[in-house]
Structure 1
Amino acid sequence: MKGIVVQGVIGRMRMELPNLPDALQRVAEQILEDPALAAQASIVDLAERAGTSTATVTRFCRVLGFKGYAALRVAIATESGREAQARWETDIDREIEPGDPMDRVLGVIASADARAIQETAARLDLTQVSRVAEAIAGANRVELFGLGSSGTAARELAFRLERIRVPCWHREDAHKALTNAALLGPGDVAIGLSHSGRTREVIEVLAEAADQGALTVAVTSFDKSPLAEAVDVVLTTAVHETTFRLAALSALHGQLVAADLIYVAVAQRTYARTTEAFEVTARAVQAHRLHDEPTSHRRRAAREAADLARPVVPRSAAD
């Protein structure tokens, strides 16, 4: 059962639900309605409540990566029985209302984001992450592409990799991304980020990179999406919505976990180069950092800087 551990099964069902066939959706809905009850029900009981067959329930289990219903029941029982999970579901199931106090709003948001990070950590295939890191560490060129919120995660990964001397670029324009993907070749890496895995521009860029022989990587919430089907490696993230924050707006936390893991794995494999790069870059910006000085000195320096920045007005213009 690769990339799935018990603490992520409920969240995965919620995420996969919209993309499942009708019969499998009914099975998922019955489990999500009362996970504790589903953990105690027999396969026949669950099939009857979902209005389907036991064969469909078995198929549903395999779609989630389980060998059969017994393994799924164990996973559900383990997850639903945890006190932390119960607290999370209490928070997350209640929507944020316009009049809710800030402490409750913060609690719901923090619970959702923490759960997304935990489930992303559970879903990431570490063997595949290592494969990507090895490729990036030795790549001639790395191209990253994402739009909207996914573009933010792509930009952050590019910034980190650049800092340790990885030759990488983040493209915000689809035409630029496509033309640069066409210049990739064997030994290069292209990474596309898309929560839905259905963003046409990202799919086109990764497909072009694949045609040129580059290793292609998708960071997405849906491992059966069109983007996932078009690439060599899929790194699956998790997301939890809250009121006012739909899935695409909540996906960033999981994507950043995946990006951070890739970055650290690359840094591990290029330790000497990374350490030297840190030293060089730290020296380069050192002059722009404020040192601990007496408050009076800092105030005087600030006033002097403000005076230098103030435009000089000719006397004739001031008269």
Structure 2
Amino acid sequence: MRRFARTLAAVALATTVVAGTAGWASGTTQRAVTGPPPGSASWRSDWVLGRALPDPGSSTPAQVGLFFRGLSASEQQVLLERHPLVVGNLDGAPLELRYRANARALRASHDPRFKGLAAPGRQILAFDPRGRGQVAEVFGDLRSARHVSVVVPGSDIDAGTFDRRGDVYGTPAGMAKSLYAETGQGSAVIAWAGYTTPVGLGLDAATGGLAEAGAERLTRFSAGLAADGLPAPVVFCHSYGSVVCGLAASGLGATDLVVLGSPGMRADDVAGLHTAAQVWAAKDDTDWIDDVPHVEVAGLGHGADPADEEFGARRVPAEDAEGHTGYFVPGTDSLRAFAAIAEGASR
């Protein structure tokens, strides 16, 4: 009987997804951007410093950090000027150097999608123009912050929608700005759109392929923060981003893992995440995600609902959040709770 019920739920999930698109072959299937930063081949062959540079594909963020600590400021500048896309995306490189490298790469880009990201004063910690574009931006002084948060978005997010004007609190920049405004001095928030997200409600959104690729990138990004001497983060994961976080949980080194509007984390319960982080979950009554069956059968669906009591996460109040993207709206109980978690008040 239980197997039959799970099969019916999987069929319902497939029906829900197909109804939201033109079917599986709707043209929304995405190919994940993976591997080392663009320009890595040129970087590997460059002996400008008289020795081999760390391989972006095989060197760990800790090894990258050790390498850069051994360079003079002028040597770092040489590498920035010759390889801005590598330096700007190289986890473990000093964040100040990455800001400058990405500003340089953005100024050199003629793609209209990236024009706003090149505005003076923006702290772009990652910029990968491949595919639909991937971006990470910092709000606050990351170097001096006592508390660091990372916001991981869900579907339909890329360089062009990173900080769109519509549905502001459904964008990584909007969520991060709102959280930073609620926390303020002593905290910094990173909006991390560093993976290829699903487009629409097609097969990508119902399966874990893009999340698996994203989890690898998120884990490496987190290791880069640690290699640069930054505090262990609180990670906020929205919608499909919570699938990414669920798969990455054991390697994130996070103090807290907060999921909101989650379709599932590819785990049956908190123990299945294999993390020492405190896990939190928020879901408001008007969020359409509640209509998605929380099952995983033959790779379809993302498993148990983290907001269910049986999952074992601590519940975040979200009574006055509205819809799927209302959790970071100023004045909501969910945002106030998020800020308290970000500032360590729960520990």
After TM superposition, the score normalised by the length of structure 2 is 0.28
Structure with higher helix content: 1
Structure with higher strand content: 2
Larger gyration radius, structure 1 or structure 2: 1
After TM superposition, the score normalised by the length of structure 1 is 0.30
